[in-house]
């Protein structure tokens, strides 16, 4: 996921950069970010970013106009907009363009972290994966996946009620999914930590009663990853 930070004031930009770096370090997320001092510098790169942290008042284009451009091109919910401002009266404008949050300057850590946490939670719950199988392509919400399994050199995405064959390696699936709460507990299994109902030193169990093994070598690191998951 990528964040675009845009503010024409150097000090305010540096505060937002520092907060973003703190968030990445403390939350152990896969966020990347880029910094801009002008909306005009950013307008041809909108498709690269998932979250926009925008100064509401800029000398070239105001934040409301730029946010409206994002909404017109990408829809109401595909990208998150966080306004930062010195003026509380922008609340109504923020509502009009479906801003994810508005934060007053100087931006404080707790409010900034809460805004990104809320976006991450919403994003993860809505995120999907494209699964290309033998002659068919499926689109599956990540929240529906219990685990990914390699069996007889075939890869399966396993949900509560079905197994979907996919033409890729478990290493490739892991690289894509580990940023979203999946963990490889065994050489043959990648589990969705948000979907499990319980676990012990030997197994992970899911709400439908299915269990998959945990490698003894992986248990300590799995517990740490589970406790740190947001």
Q: pLDDT of 58-86, one tens digit each?
A: 887 778 888 888 888 877 667 888 989 87
**Is the domain of 116 the same as that of 43?**
yes
pLDDT category of residue 92 using cuts at 50, 70 and 90: very low
The pLDDT of 24-49, averaged and rounded, is: 90
* Residue 12: domain span: 2-126
Q: pLDDT of 166-196, one tens digit each?
A: 988 999 999 888 878 899 999 999 999 989 9
Do the strands 189-192 and 147-151 form a parallel or antiparallel pair, or are they unpaired? antiparallel
**Is the domain of 117 the same as that of 132?**
no
Read off the pTM.
Answer: 0.60
Output the domain CATH number for residue 6.
Answer: 3.40.50.2300
Q: Flag whether pLDDT at 113 surpasses 90.
A: yes
**Is the domain of 110 the same as that of 132?**
no
Chain-centre distance for alpha carbon 198: 24
Instruction: Check residue 132 and give its pLDDT.
Output: 86
Length of the chain in terms of residues written: 230
Summary mean pLDDT of the chain:
87
Instruction: Check residue 88 and give its pLDDT.
Output: 61
**Is the domain of 107 the same as that of 221?**
no
pLDDT category of residue 120 using cuts at 50, 70 and 90: confident
Chain-centre distance for alpha carbon 75: 18
Is the separation of the CB atoms in 120 and 230 below 8 Å? yes
Nearest 5°: phi and psi at 200?
-135, -165
Query: DSSP code of 11?
Result: H
- Percent of the chain beyond pLDDT 70? 92
**Is the domain of 172 the same as that of 58?**
no
CA angle 95, 98, 99 (to 5 degrees): 85
């Amino acid at each position: 996921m990528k964040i675009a930070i845009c503010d024409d004031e150097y000090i305010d930009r540096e505060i937002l950069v520092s907060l973003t770096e703190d968030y990445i370090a403390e939350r152990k997320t896969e966020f990347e970010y880029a910094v801009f001092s002008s909306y005009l510098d950013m307008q041809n790169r909108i498709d690269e970013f998932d979250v926009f942290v925008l100064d509401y008042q800029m000398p070239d284009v105001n934040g409301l106009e730029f946010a409206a451009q994002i909404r017109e091109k990408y829809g109401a919910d595909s990208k998150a907009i966080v306004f930062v401002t010195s003026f509380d009266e922008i609340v109504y404008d923020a509502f009009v363009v479906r801003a994810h949050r508005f934060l007053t300057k100087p931006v404080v850590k707790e409010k900034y972290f809460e805004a990104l946490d809320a976006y991450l939670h919403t994003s993860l719950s809505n995120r999907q994966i494209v699964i290309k199988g033998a002659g068919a392509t499926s689109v599956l919400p990540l929240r529906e996946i219990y685990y990914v399994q390699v069996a007889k050199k075939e890869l399966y995405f396993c949900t509560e009620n079905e197994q979907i064959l996919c033409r890729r390696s478990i290493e490739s699936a892991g690289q894509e999914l580990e940023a979203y709460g999946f963990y490889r507990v065994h050489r043959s299994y990648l589990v969705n930590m948000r979907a499990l109902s319980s676990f012990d030193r030997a197994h992970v169990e899911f709400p439908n009663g299915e269990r998959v093994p945990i490698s003894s070598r992986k248990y300590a690191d799995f517990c740490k990853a589970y406790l740190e998951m947001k």
